[in-house]
Structure 1
Amino acid sequence: MIRRTDLAIENKEMFEEGNGEGSQIPGVNVKAERYGDDVTVTRITIEDERGSAIMNKPQGRYITVEIKGGVNGSEEIKEMAARAVAAELTALIPFHHYLKVLVVGLGNEKVTPDSLGPHTVSKIRVTRHLFLHYEVEGDDDQANVSALNPGVMASTGMESGDLIYGAAEITDPEVILVIDSLAARSIERINTTIQITDTGISPGAGMGNHRKVLTSESMGRKVVAVGVPTVIDAGSMVLDSLADYLSDADRAEDYIQQAKLDMIVTPTDIDEVIHDFSEIIASAINIALHPGIYS
């Protein structure tokens, strides 16, 4: 049975389950760092084709920010997490006088588990109109930031990737920064984890609706993606929840696969998860892109 996940750190954990905890993955470099007592950052770099094949991910950087015990509405923890995410974003998108960024919120605002992108973008400081109004090319305090919520194909009749490509042609950003919902194999990841990657993203992947991929190759410019797992497939949830009670895990996996439990689930407090993590990610983006204002 394929344990579905969009998280590189969970692919790493699955490798360790089969090869022993702490096993070195060929072609993959892993480093961890703590931000205070509650936030841990794990940086996974897939360096070659061997690592890509084992991890089932494209080569590139995958940064996982984990909040111990979840946010639980704590403003102090949210600020610490935002600072950690901002630091990682700054490493991927270094600020400079002429920096232009298009921030894109993928997903459907009317479907709570899929609304992380639109909710986050609504909290971003957009500045492109100011640069146009004052006819300036750059600024020492803030980046030239534009934003887009492309919606979903069922509502617009258009591929998100095509809309984003068109917006990038208009705004000419150096970087496209995409926010989307993801899928995890562990229910505990849904209120504790943020993933950042420079390898791009497939819109709707978290909700099982794979569309045209957003990568540096397809967009013609750097793409950085930030995601939070908001859903888990039913089979993975059952196996994860009962792992300590199953006498024959392989038999259980076979049964679930034959039963074709082709559905995804989300926790009852998903509205709080979206609220907290959209604030964390928006704050981090504002800090990284507008250091003279928010740092």
Structure 2
Amino acid sequence: MKRSDFADEWFESEEEKIFSQKTESFPHAVTVKWIKVLENDKKYQTGDYVTISFESMADASLRNQISSILVDVLDKLCQDVLLQKILVVGLGNEDMISDAIGPKTAAQILVSAHLFELEKEVHPGLNNCAVIAPKVMGQTGLESARIVKGIADFYEPQCVIVIDALATSSFSRINRAIQISNIGIIPGSGVGNHRLAINEETLKVPVISIGIATVTTIRSILNEMNVKEEYENNDCIITPRDMDMECRQIVAILSHGINCFIHPAYEEL
């Protein structure tokens, strides 16, 4: 079974009648592929899946470019959503670097909900934003979706943005592909560890998911190398050894883009 959370990888061999796609190219080898699923598939629900792919993020100007593209994608996906009160959710285990993208990004989001709660004077370019990082079931004993739903029911946001690490079927895409979707997310699905979905059906508000490829399997690497032999632990999950450094760069890209999307005056502050 293919271990991938990315729609553009999953639909490589599917009939085109169930989806449509288009690709945009940007300077510095950055591409954006838009996939619209037209009917529910065995893995993906009807909706939009946008993948931003890039070859490098070592330069600050490149990271700013990717962040700007992220903001543009979010604007288009949320053009019909009122965005004055937003809940940001960082999924994952911060103690495991390949799964730390969600909580580390959440920690860099500008929170303002407490200012609105206290009825303090708030900059007109800031929106009401709350942030949580619910950890994982092994740390809390609770499904992340149940924690998020409890807080969403109390906070009553107009939109929920969920950030998580994703699995890819291509080693070359690790830390080089971001997927944004308007149908939510099922935590752990890419590595066969399915949890309750975090989506509009469960939370009763629009959900945008943002994920970055951080892991793949030995099987996927062997397939890329056209190695047909079967090995024990083919589905072992792996991640690059320089994940620590690249995690910081990814967090910078995602947090800057999300902050600019939520708070129109973010770069002026």
Q: TM-score, normalised by structure 2?
A: 0.92
Write the mapping of 1:117-266 to structure 2, written as runs, cut at 5 A.
117-134=102-119, 140-240=124-224, 242-243=225-226, 246=227, 252=228, 255-256=230-231, 259=232, 261-266=234-239
Unmatched runs of 5 consecutive residues or more in structure 2: none
State which of 41, 56, 68 in structure 2 corresponds to 1:70.
56
Report the Cα offset of residue 135 of structure 1.
5.9
* Distance of aligned partners of 1:97 and 1:231 in 2 relative to their CA distance in 1, 3 Å threshold: closer
Question: Does residue 81 in structure 1 map to residue 66 in structure 2?
Answer: yes
Question: Residues 97, 173 of structure 1: CA spacing in aligned structure 2 closer, same or farther, 3 A cutoff?
Answer: closer
> Structure 1 stretches of 5 or more lacking a match?
16-23, 247-251
* Letter of the 1:182 counterpart: L
In structure 2, the CA distance between the partners of 1:12 and 1:97, relative to structure 1 (3 Å rule), is closer
When residues 233 and 13 of structure 1 are mapped into structure 2, their CA distance, relative to the original with a 3 A threshold, is same
Pairing of 1:21-40 with structure 2 (within 5 A): 25-40=16-31
Which residue of structure 1 lines up, in the alignment, with residue 12 of structure 2?
13
Correspondent of 1:290 among 263, 266, 269: 263
Cα deviation 1:216-246 (Å, max 9, x = unaligned) = 1011111110001111011112211x13xx5
Q: Secondary structure at the match of 1:262?
A: coil
The aligned length equals: 268
Q: Identify if the C-alpha distance between structure 1 residues 238 and 210 changes in structure 2 by more than 3 Å, giving closer, same or farther.
A: same
Please state how far the C-alpha of 1:209 moved relative to its aligned partner: 2.6
| Amino acid paired to 1:5 | S
Shift of 1:293: 2.8
Q: Which moved more, 1:119-128 or 1:201-210?
A: 201-210
Instruction: Please provide the CA RMSD for this pair.
Output: 2.1
Q: For 2:253, give the aligned amino acid.
A: I
CA distance in 2, matches of 1:229, 1:172: 30
Fraction of identical pairs, as percent: 31
Checking the alignment, whether the CA contact within 8 Å between 1:104 and 1:179 is kept in structure 2 is yes
Larger radius of gyration: 1
Alignment partners' CA distance in 2, 1:164 and 1:148: 8
Q: Distance in 2 between matches of 1:12 and 1:203?
A: 20
Q: Judging by fraction of residues, say which structure has more helix.
A: 1
Contact 1:98–1:139 under 8 Å retained in 2:
no
State the one-letter code of the partner of 1:210.
Answer: H
Aligned counterpart, 1:91: 76
Contact 2:32–2:53 (CA under 8 A) maintained in structure 1? yes
Aligned to 1:20: none
